[in-house]
Amino acid sequence: MNYLSLFGDTVSSTKIKEITAQAVEHKCGVSSRFDNRVEKLKSELVNNNQNRLFSKPKLRGLSVEQIKNYQSCYGRVIFAPFHFDEHRHILLDLIAHGLSSCAPVAGKCFWDLYQLRNLLPTKSQNLIRLLEVEDVAVGKELVKEMRKGSNGFIYCDGNMGSGGNRSKEGTSIVNFFNKRIRVKSGIARIAMLFKSPIIPVFSTQDVYGNRVLTFEAAIFQDADIANRELVQQNIIQELYSRLERKVSESPDKWEYALCLHRWLEPENNSLNVKLENNIVAENHVIEINKQRVAFISQNTDTLLVDTQQNKAYKAPAIMSSFFALLRQQTSLKIKELLNECPTEKRNNFMSIVQEMVQQDLLFIKSA
């Protein structure tokens, strides 16, 4: 349902099923590859075989030298990974390239490795500092470390901030695949606090199975904008625009696609017009709730899908042409729809429309 919500009817239902299956398989594969790498690294640490500790991935985008220049100019940078593809490797790959970071993370695999950091070469021991992401003081600890000059490492996709996924505190609303989603915005606030550049970073594999670490162009806050909320909004929107491009190319590699339904911001239906006795004015229009509705074709039928409730509705014969029009247009005049509907079926048509309005699938508004 989350992939259907992302792509709507721009992708066939068969293709969406394929993407979903590939996503599950991909996540198992990347988790296994990282676990194997950590186990091998732990073995090398225990055996004091320091020459084989870290393999450097290929680099794309910004060079390590450019990043270190940013560190010199701004005091620190913030690495912004996403839960995309081989993201678990990024922390280790930063160490391999001599880049420090302080990272709020979760996962036993990371912490098992962290316990052995004193076995690392001296120059590498201070390149990584892990913080427990579930700790209520994790934000303060991160700021404390960054005041000392540490680079930040903050996963920036998701809405699980300190207040949980239902809290609006510390969040921003951004456009993502033409959906309004509410996401955490702590990375922007910290960047604004330190005036630090944010460097989006992705870890992927090339066609030969080699890891590739891509440092994308840095994101800077606009010093000409006095409104801090707008600055924050612009930063988060740019991060999600970068993510959208990656997900468009490889939708099965974004792990958080399976959580998207929790981020969707409900449409404001307070402007819904209540029709008394189905009396319709010339300016009354029907709009689809794009936040939760998608369409799919099944044989010769058009199905309206409520992506939040995981329900699909087959169009009654009287509504089939209406559903088809909704797929093509964002707003339909009710008067015009009724004029095309046989007189004896108009009440039935409007009853179905009103029921869909009550379920927040459609809106009736004054144009």
pLDDT in tens, 55-67: 789 999 999 999 9
Least confident among 252-261, 263-272, 298-307: 263-272
Over 60: is that where the pLDDT of 271 sits? no
Contact indicator for 117, 146 with CB cutoff of 8 Å: no
Query: What CA–CA distance (Å, rounded) separates 334 from 99?
Result: 60
pLDDT in tens, 158-209: 765 444 444 566 789 999 988 888 999 999 999 999 999 999 999 999 988 8
Please tell me the predicted confidence (pLDDT) of residue 195: 93
Please tell me the predicted confidence (pLDDT) of residue 164: 46
Query: What CA–CA distance (Å, rounded) separates 118 from 72?
Result: 27
Please tell me the predicted confidence (pLDDT) of residue 165: 44
Over 80: is that where the pLDDT of 94 sits? yes
155 or 40, higher pLDDT: 155
Q: What percent of the chain has pLDDT over 90?
A: 32
Burial of 282 (0-12, 13-18, 19+ CB in 10 A): exposed
pLDDT in tens, 204-249: 999 888 899 999 999 998 766 678 888 999 999 999 999 999 999 9
pLDDT in tens, 306-320: 877 777 777 777 777
Please tell me the predicted confidence (pLDDT) of residue 127: 87
What is the pTM assigned to this prediction? 0.78
Please tell me the predicted confidence (pLDDT) of residue 10: 74
Please tell me the predicted confidence (pLDDT) of residue 154: 94
* Contacts (Cβ under 8 Å, ≥6 apart) of 32: none
pLDDT, average across residues 332-336: 84
CB atoms within 10 A of CB 147: 12
Coil, helix or strand for 290? coil
Q: Which domains, and CATH codes, for the chain?
A: 2-262 (no CATH), 276-366 (3.40.366.30)
70 or 161, higher pLDDT: 70
pLDDT, average across residues 264-275: 61
| HEC assignment per residue over 87-152 | HHHHHHHHHHCCCCEEEEECCHHHHHHHCCHHHCCHHHHCCEEEEECCCCCHHHHHHHHHHCCCCE
Please tell me the predicted confidence (pLDDT) of residue 261: 76
Per the prediction, the chain carries an average pLDDT of 83
DSSP-assigned beta bridge partners for residue 201: 81, 215
Sign of the dihedral through C-alpha 349, 304, 12, 182? positive
Report the amino acid identity of residue 2.
N
Please tell me the predicted confidence (pLDDT) of residue 215: 98
DSSP-assigned beta bridge partners for residue 101: 128
Please tell me the predicted confidence (pLDDT) of residue 162: 42
pLDDT, average across residues 355-366: 82
Which of the four pLDDT bands, split at 50, 70 and 90, describes residue 276? low
